[in-house]
Amino acid sequence: MGKGRVKLFIAASVVIAGIAYLMLTGSTQATVYYFKLSELMAKPGSPTDDVRVAARVVPGTIRKDSKSMTVDFVMAEGGVSLPVRYTGLVPDTFKDDSEVVVEGRMTPDRSSFTAHTLLAKCPSKYESQYNTDTGREHQKKYGMQTDFKSAPVK
């Protein structure tokens, strides 16, 4: 083997090792597990590291402070509830009874949760407005037909 081939082999090995490392670290970060609130509360002790928790926002518990960008709310799941404090930008889909995943730490006495990440899940079901007042007004105003089942076939 000549010097040129050895250098090419070493360079190719470094590139392949770098790509493999990026793929491995990327896939482990993308598959982050979260606990349901009832699962987390059933575990003895308090987690010392950041943890992700999923539950629903209890209606009527959201309190926002626009000056400090702090949101306090209560989340509940499986008959267990937990007050949460989050500071930062709030997703548009965050509202009463929405599903949320928060990432942060529970207080040592397990009485509340301080979150540094708030994710609000999007609704999984979007319904057509064809048979609603808004849909009928839209059709009347713009002459658009949104019911494709009865649309004429050309």
Which residue segments constitute the domains of the chain, with CATH numbers given? Answer: 35-120 (2.40.50.140)
d(CA 84, CA 98): 14
Nearest to 114 by CA among 95, 88, 91: 88
- Please tell me the least confidently modeled range out of 64-68, 76-80, 142-146, 150-154: 150-154
Helix (H, G, I), strand (E, B) or coil at 137: helix
The pLDDT tens digits of the residues spanning 23-79 come to 877 765 555 578 899 988 888 776 667 889 999 999 999 999 988 899 999 999 989
Q: 60-80 burial, b if ≥16 CB within 10 A, otherwise e?
A: eebeeeeeeeebebbbbbeee
Which three-class secondary structure state does DSSP give residue 27?
Answer: helix
**HSE (CB half, 13 Å, CA atoms) of 151?**
10
Mean pLDDT of the chain: 81
Closest CA to 55 of 105, 8, 121, 7: 121
Please say if the pLDDT value at position 115 is more than 70.
yes
Per-residue pLDDT reduced to its tens digit, 97-106? 899 999 999 8
